[in-house]
Amino acid sequence: MAIQTVSHEPTTVYIKPSKGLATLHLRDLWTYRELVFFMIWRDIKVRYKQTMLGAAWAIIQPVMTMLVFNFIFNGVAKVSSDGVPYPIFSYTALLPWGLFVAALNNASRSLTSNSNMVTKIYFPRLVLPVASVLSGLVDFAISFVILILLMFYYKVTPAWNVLWALPLFLLLAIVAALGVALWLSAINVKYRDVNYALPFLTQFWLFATPVAYSASVISPKWRLLYSLNPMAGVVNGFRWALLGAGSGPDAALWVSVGISLLVLVSGLFYFRGMEKTFADTI
């Protein structure tokens, strides 16, 4: 479908059945960038409405998880944390992980919970999952403040490369989350099984990601296979950039990047392909 622009000279739109492999029409999304912005704004505005603690939840959730991890993995199981104090070691990983999980949870439901929009008006459907993923950045920023406090407390000073490395690893987390989110949201339109499968999926994924433990416990011969999980690359990257832990970018990181891009591009095509049936099947 052609793009729609708002101008005084009416634009002509041709509506016809799309054939073959769907084209991505990412310009469409650009045209509707204000809608993306408004959807993010709406998500943020209503997220903690009618809660007593409000945005404090963005801090409570990762901090409580960190405390539990600290008790079990540090206190009881005594896992290695690469010479970094365990609380900050796990909290650094919980930030991108929380972003990722929230993105999957919100985005997978983004189409079905806005079904009245999908069935009534035209707009690039990509707006919904994209906005859900990006709106998680606000929670990320709030919980990041705690990380800074922890770094002061434990006197951890990041190297200068944090300035370029952290944004890139954050971008990688978003790419990975968006890719998976596109798949899940499109599948969820037709098969609501996604709602039920997602808690298990994220739970298993957590174990497959070095959040509670260090990636260094994985034996070198499995490292490459292990890095097929893009979140492994993200978490290692966060620890390296912020805490100087681990070995820094290596071949495994490129595997993570490659997989993330592959999932994102295939997700975009799948989403576009399914998009035309959304209004009929939702």
Partner 1 sequence: MTIAIRAEHLSKKYRIGAAQQKFQYGMLRDVLTDTITAPVRWAKAMARRSDNPQLPTEKNFIWALKDVSFDLEEGQVLGIVGRNGAGKSTLLKVLSRVTEPTVGTVTVRGRVGSLLEVGTGFHPELTGRENIFLNGAVLGMKRAEIERKFDEIVDFSEVGQFIDTPVKRYSSGMYLRLAFAVAAHLEPEILVVDEVLAVGDAEFQRKCLGKMGDVAQQGRTVLFVSHNMSAILRLTQEAIVLKKGQLIKRAPTQEAVDFYLSSGLAETGERLWGAEDIPVTAAPFKPIALRVKDRSGKVVDTVRSTEPVTIEWEYKLEAPVTGLRVGMYLNTMRAEYVFTAFDTDDAKQFEQFGARQAGHYFSRCTIPADFFNEGRYSLGVNASSFAVRRYFMDDNALSFNVDITGAPGTQWPEVRQGPVRPRLNWQIEKVE
User: Given the rule CB under 8 A, which residues bind partner 1?
Assistant: 1, 4, 6, 10-18, 32, 34-35, 37-38, 41-42, 45-46, 49-50, 114, 116-123, 190-193, 276, 279-281
Nearer to partner 1, 15 or 21 (CB): 15
Nearer to partner 1, 115 or 203 (CB): 115
Rounded (10°) CA dihedral 135, 137, 140, 144: -140
The closest alpha carbon to 70, from 90, 93, 96, 95, belongs to 90
d(CA 200, CA 202): 5
Nearer to partner 1, 6 or 52 (CB): 6
- Sign, CA dihedral 110-115-118-123, equals negative
H helices within 79-219, ranges in order? 86-113, 115-120, 127-153, 162-190, 193-207
| 7 residue type, one letter | S
Rounded (10°) CA dihedral 260, 263, 265, 271: -140
What does the DSSP 8-state code read for residue 74? I
Whether 125 and 118 have beta carbons less than 8 Å apart is answered as: yes
| 3 residue type, one letter | I
Whether 142 and 58 have beta carbons less than 8 Å apart is answered as: yes
224-235 burial: b if 16+ Cβ within 10 Å, else e: eebbebbbbbbb
